[in-house]
Structure 1
């Protein structure tokens, strides 16, 4: 049964109990013959009030239940413009074409090519750990 129907049924029941107990309480000779029924009438009124308040609390919306909300859709104000950047600079190794040993060009080439180049001896330390003469040709 849905929540609205339950609430209406509980409210109607509470109202019927309250009206019937008030009708009994307003009878003319009630005080003379039914002194012990005061507690019964008070209980019925309390029960009716509790049912009404309880149904109001039960029908309150719950915020801890997960709900799906559509995400907002934003339209772009302008179209994206491609950004053109200059290509990164390229570093070339110096190329030696028949360079004579012990010249300034040879020394420059060997010092760029080999980090461990020693210009006094003209050698560099290779990956094998030995000294090798720099051949620029």
Structure 2
């Protein structure tokens, strides 16, 4: 720091805070059970308190799906499939790029697919998309 007075003041504040901090920091007491019980509505007629609380906790857990990680699993599977498709396409593209100069391969693909394009090494499939000739 360029200003020695400011640096010494900052060091003094940090030293006082480090000494006084733990002594004054206390956790607040936990909320009392009476306050918790006062907020809960009583069970409906025909239900005892224990059965009603169990049912409420079951409904809460069922509706919130805390242990259900199906969204993450689905996202992982879709991500894996998308990554595999992209990697497969790049692999096919690299494989075809090496064969574009081979006249036998071009003749084979032209005989096999009438829509074969020798410049890109692809043909037009029945689904309307271009596919690499193997």
TM over 0.5: no
**TM-score normalised by the chain length of structure 1:** 0.26
Structure with the larger RCO, 1 or 2 (CA within 8 Å, 6+ apart): 1
